[in-house]
A and B are shown apart, each in its own frame.
Chain A
Amino acid sequence: MKFPYSETVLEHFRHPRNVGKIDDPDGKSMEGSPACGDMVAVYIKVDPDTKKIDDIKFESYGCASNIATGSIITELAKGKTLDEAKKITWKEASDALGGLPKIKAHCSVLAIEGLRSAIQNYEERHGLITKREPTTLETVRKRLRKVMNPIAGLDLVRTNLVKDIQMKDGTVRVVIDLPKNHQFAAAIKEEIDEKIEPLWDVKEVIVEFTD
């Protein structure tokens, strides 16, 4: 009998490492929301001199791949410098877990984002961040790279699903090359909204599908 999850995923799901909260963390993040599904909270303690992650913990409100990815990224990030930890990719986490089912990519990518946001939070708090940049087409495209195409398990940009991006007066229009009634259309739209809306100068996000 073969589970869609690898043995390593199941092992981390059953016995997640570094679970919990760090009181008085140097950086923290909460990615996702109950409204969109999974959530991950990441807490880090950073050595001020070496900028290495001394301690890291996570909490998860999510499915097995979410919990397992949260667990593995804490192991991958511990002891690394912030700059090194920032570069940990979903692919590395997935490989360390012995692979994740494609359809589960969107649940697990959240943990990676959680780690990056916790680092960003640390940098913001410690004056390491530059000023707010206005949103550009490139910023939007970059964010869309974080939205998974569940058909392929890769992001929307890499799988050529983004047909067009337009920006005008704070309104972002994204055209996705899928029919409106496609199995994943609603899920993809939700995720795009979630990724683009938080940009500080974006007022409205419109997602359109091709027919």
Chain B
Amino acid sequence: MQEKRVYLDNSASTRLDERVLEAMTPYFFDTYAVATSEFAYTQGIEAREALDEARLSLAKALGAEPEEFVFTSGSTESSNMALKGVALALGRKKGKHIIVSKIEDFPVLQSAEALERDGFRVTYLEVDNDGLVNPDLLRESITDETILVSIQHANQEIGTIQDIAGIGAICHEKGVLFHTDATHTFGRVLLNTRRIPVDMVTVSAHTIHGPKGIGGLYVRKGTPLSKWMDGGFQEFDLRAGLENIPGAVGFARAVELITAEENKRLRFMRDHAIRRILKEIPDTMLNGHRRKRLPHNVNISFHFVEGESITLHLDMHGFAVSTGSACFSRSLQGSHVIYGIGGDHERAHGSIRITLGRYNALEEVDAVVDTLADVISELRKISPLGKEKYGEEV
């Protein structure tokens, strides 16, 4: 085992920024009251003010009003809230049809499947080989019964960024609500709700060096959304439960700390990694769109080798990355995203995702590519596939 470990799975989780922790600390030790106690005592007022300030800052980042930003426990809850909340509000009144893309992340997909079991009809939109939704296909799929379209801003695995402005325009032209899961774009790719016709946006802090357990849902004013979790009257009576004030403060701070230079640096490292891997390791292919892509996402399939073996070998060299291989997944199914973009089992089996973050350096990117080249070559030597090419004696 190496001493220094290099974390390259920043779409799964990120290292907390010390400045975020610093902003959060007083709300654990000094101002730990609940915001709903504002009429009872001073600490409650301070808590309320902190929550309001965080909300204002996050709403601003989305070009929204503070009343349009609801705190949740993370993107899973946000997306559940969006899909199930709209289904509850409009299912009986307007219709029971929902449209999602095939390559959505699990909170959206599983919420859609849960609604399907409850009698809703769900269209799982096909995407092209880069992962992009076809706007014409979307337009054709919308019926009078359609109440919601949920299409992600960028994909969690392959990083492809959808044209949500175009998608939103179609939805609104047809009078249908539009939700987007922006878990992986928030802070990294601009999303201004004043310019983009979107009704709900899922965001989270855990992908941007903020704390885990805090996220949010942007809800455009007037959006019919039923309360889904019952309890108190918090969050404009949309989300019951004690406010996570340290989390909210940390989330806001995490967003403030992202700079355009940082995103540019990530993009540079991303392109460097992709260029080197495709050039130096034979029989590889990039998954996802080359340009319309998250600035920190690299996803490559290596033929003739299996992803879990690659990740384990990389781990022994100190690198943490992820794979879409069936062997790695809890359901023993290969990545639905790779299948969704027309990839076969083999492509999913040998896919590796590297996602960069604030604490990664270019030297680390070079180091992981060097190691990857060795690991792939070793594994190909023991693989029964591609023998004519890599079959030299071990």
Min CB distance A91 to B, Å, is 20
Q: What is the CA–CA distance of A67 and B382 in the complex, to the nearest angstrom?
A: 9
The number of inter-chain residue pairs (CB within 8 angstroms) is 86
Contacts of A10 in B (CB 8 A): 312
Asked if residues A39 and B382 are in contact (CB atoms below 8 Å), the reply is no
B interface residues, how many (CB within 8 angstroms) = 32
Q: Is B163's beta carbon under 8 Å from chain A? A: no
Query: B355-394: which have CB < 8 Å to A?
Result: 381-385, 387, 391, 393-394
Cβ–Cβ contact B309 & A67, under 8 A: yes
Other-chain residue from B117, B312, B382 in contact with A16 (beta carbon distance below 8 A)? B382
Contact A34 B309 (CB under 8 A): no
Closest chain-A Cβ to B304's Cβ sits at a distance in Å of 7
Partner of B325, one of A40, A63, A65: A63
**B298-336 near A? 1/0 per residue, CB < 8 Å:** 000000111111001000100000000111101111100
Q: Which residues of B contact A150 (CB under 8 A)?
A: 332
- Give Cα A96–Cα B391 distance, bound, in whole angstroms: 29
Q: Kindly identify, within residues 58 to 74 of chain A, every residue whose CB is under 8 Å from any CB belonging to chain B.
A: 59-67
Binds A, one of B38-46, B221-229, B344-352: B344-352
Question: Does the CB pair A61–B384 fall under 8 Å?
Answer: yes
In the complex, are the beta carbons of A21 and B387 less than 8 A apart?
yes
Can you name 28 A-B pairs with beta carbons within 8 Å?
A10-B312, A14-B316, A16-B382, A19-B382, A19-B394, A21-B387, A34-B344, A34-B346, A35-B346, A37-B306, A37-B327, A37-B334, A37-B349, A39-B384, A39-B385, A60-B383, A60-B384, A61-B385, A63-B309, A64-B312, A104-B327, A106-B332, A181-B113, A181-B117, A183-B330, A183-B331, A184-B331, A184-B332
Not counting A34-B346, A37-B326, a sample of 9 additional A-B residue pairs whose C-beta atoms are within 8 angstroms of each other reads A14-B316, A21-B391, A38-B327, A60-B382, A62-B327, A65-B327, A181-B113, A184-B331, A186-B333
Q: Which 9 A-B pairs have the closest CB atoms?
A: A63-B327, A63-B308, A41-B384, A59-B384, A187-B332, A34-B346, A61-B383, A19-B382, A183-B331
Q: B residues engaging A (CB < 8 A)?
A: 113, 117, 304-309, 312, 316, 325-328, 330-334, 344-346, 349, 381-385, 387, 391, 393-394
